[in-house]
Amino acid sequence: MHYGNGMITRCRDVLESEFQYCSDLNTTRFLKRMLEVEKPDFIAFTGDNIFGPSTTDAAESLFEAFGPAMESGLPWAAILGNHDQESTMNREELMSFISLMDYSVSQVNPSAEDLSSPVKGGMVTNIDGFGNYNLRVYGAPGSHLANSSILDLFFLDSGDREVIQGVRTYGWIKESQLSWLRSIYHESQVQKQNSDQSADTFPTATSPALAFFHIPIPEIRHLYHNKIVGEFQEAVACSSVNSGVLQTFVSIGDVQAVFMGHDHKNDFCGNLDGIWFCYGGGFGYHGYGKAGWPRRARVIIAELGKGDKSWMGVKRIKTWKRLDDEKLSKIDEQVLWVHQPS
Amino acid sequence: MHYGNGMITRCRDVLESEFQYCSDLNTTRFLKRMLEVEKPDFIAFTGDNIFGPSTTDAAESLFEAFGPAMESGLPWAAILGNHDQESTMNREELMSFISLMDYSVSQVNPSAEDLSSPVKGGMVTNIDGFGNYNLRVYGAPGSHLANSSILDLFFLDSGDREVIQGVRTYGWIKESQLSWLRSIYHESQVQKQNSDQSADTFPTATSPALAFFHIPIPEIRHLYHNKIVGEFQEAVACSSVNSGVLQTFVSIGDVQAVFMGHDHKNDFCGNLDGIWFCYGGGFGYHGYGKAGWPRRARVIIAELGKGDKSWMGVKRIKTWKRLDDEKLSKIDEQVLWVHQPS
């Protein structure tokens, strides 16, 4: 959202005819419009929620930026980008503040309790960054999956900036964070082995997971030569460090799609080793963009299977985007994952 | 200057590499650099000093915008553009405030006393706008011109917006203002006739005058096909009304050069009926501009003639611009007026 100080924070990269009345309030309006048209169940914010250099008071800007989310009464979650901490709060303070906002289900980091795992050696006691957490979507109330996670949402802090051998680069997801991901995976494997698996359910082993972080991984660059859905209009601004995020996702196997922020003029989904990586596309009006190329937002839908007696697990995950034009045009609809009966 | 809220107000139309650390503070820095390099005797601000829509408190923004001028201790004068009043102060309040700032020699409007003229019918009792005034530069102390105006500076309020037959257009200089100009002219003519004219001076009848206002007059458009010094890079954003400013200047005869603001990507001087019309070129970083085309400022020098015994009147008026690049490059130097001995 790149939120600044609201009405006095002007839009970047809009048409000259749009500039005069364009401010952060356009970002607020777009968020409200998206909530009205899509009536979602959950909202995920992928970082650079506020743009520090244009903000005099981070808390105030966070209230304004997440205002429509809080007013909606929907659960919502956010992670940090590379600009959020550039004003009056550091990253720990920001995530703590965000985790306490109305209807926010964001967390600063996994608590020690969450991290206790029956798998020895998989326990993570210290984790890099702020805003690493796992949200579980449970099955339909009354169904046999009412107490099982049918969709995992992983939020990861990809950091802001780092200096590697004297050279400035973007942050990346550290080994401690990947280790935490693996520990969750091991834990869920153990739980699955211990749980009753009846024949008429989608095996919980195939419950999909989605991941959200701000800064793209270096492999996204390879997608320039691949078939993608959407537009690849700027260089991937990733870290010079490859910490093995893709390999970790591949080895875990649950993560079917990853959603990133950071690059405003890229809004594509591309597939790497069977996992979809999707940009949201620039949303906020004070963030850089491309005049005449409307601000946009990504929608994700996880559809439940319908059994004979009750709702089942997730059977399909789709995505599309909407443009902040007059009709909130829906574009680039695609299927990201389909449940394969075993 | 298009000043907003200072550090949190971001630059428009700069290179992506410049954007990160670019704010209103760059405008402040440019003003300070100009004062250091040119060491001027006077500073004139030609409107849109602050950009209302990016300002939460007009008074605060005025203090920041004119800060380097006030700190310099130099006399300075400002008029209003079309954006100054778009926040917390109306045009009358703005000019009143500006007139009271440290070292400001700006005036809201001519006082009743100034307007009393021996020429019947030339007296103006009511004048449109706020910021119409005449500053007189007197001859060198100790010279025979110590008590005579050797250079007149006319500041005029060209307004903001008007609606003509339902169509929105820019403001213009009204007949009441032109009538005031004519009355000053008549008054000075009478004074000259009454004064002692010794042979070894430049006759005061040829004392040049300069005029400053924000919105260009419609005739500036004709200069597109004429020889100009500088660049004509955007349509002249003037009023649809031609109130006869050029004719008035021609008939008065004293005004040798006119300095305008408003169009940031035009920085040329062009000649209309013997009078030079010069844009300053965009100065402020929050004003629109052209990325890679440096912000710039116009310098005007009025050189005094050197007589046998003492300083004389103005013998030549020159102008140039400086770019806000590393070397403050000096460009487009030209002569605007030379005293012709009678």
Closest residue in A to B52 (Cα) is A8
Share of chain A above pLDDT 70, in %: 92
Of the candidates B226, B208, B107, the one whose C-alpha atom is nearest the C-alpha of residue B150 is B208
In this structure, what token pair is assigned to residue B148?
């005579």
Q: How confident is the model at residue A203 (pLDDT cuts 50, 70, 90)?
A: very low
Distance to chain A for B320, nearest Cα, Å:
29
**What is the predicted ipTM?**
0.80
Across residues B117-141, what is the average pLDDT?
78
User: Nearest by CB to A8, which of B5, B12, B23?
Assistant: B5
pLDDT number for residue A191 = 75
Range name among A123-137, A225-239, A266-280 with the lowest pLDDT average: A123-137
Question: Whole-model pTM above 0.95?
Answer: no
* A-interface mutation test, from B2, B5, B8, B82, most A Cβ less than 10 A away: B8
Average pLDDT, chain B: 93
Q: B68's torsion region: left (phi>0), alpha (psi -120 to 50) or beta?
A: alpha
A342 and chain B: CB distance < 8 Å anywhere?
A: no
Q: How far is CA B190 from the centre of its chain?
A: 27
Residue contact B54–A19, C-beta within 8 A: no
A9 and chain B: CB distance < 8 Å anywhere?
A: yes
The answer to whether A250 and A275 have CB atoms below 8 angstroms apart is yes
Distance to chain A for B96, nearest Cα, Å:
24
Which residues 34-73 in chain B show a CB within 8 A of chain A? 53-56
A117 and chain B: CB distance < 8 Å anywhere?
A: no
B17 and chain A: CB distance < 8 Å anywhere?
A: no
Average pLDDT, chain A: 93
Residue contact A8–B288, C-beta within 8 A: no
In chain A, which residues have their Cβ closer than 8 Å to the Cβ of B286?
A: 10
CA pair distance A298, A276, nearest whole angstrom: 14
* B-interface mutation test, from A2, A3, A10, most B Cβ less than 10 A away: A10
Share of chain A above pLDDT 90, in %: 86
The answer to whether B173 and B255 have CB atoms below 8 angstroms apart is no
Fold of A6-338: Purple Acid Phosphatase; chain A, domain 2 (3.60.21)
Across residues B111-121, what is the average pLDDT?
52
| Cα dihedral A25, A31, A35, A36 sign | positive
B8 and chain A: CB distance < 8 Å anywhere?
A: yes
A82 and chain B: CB distance < 8 Å anywhere?
A: no
* The pLDDT of residue B248 is above 80: yes
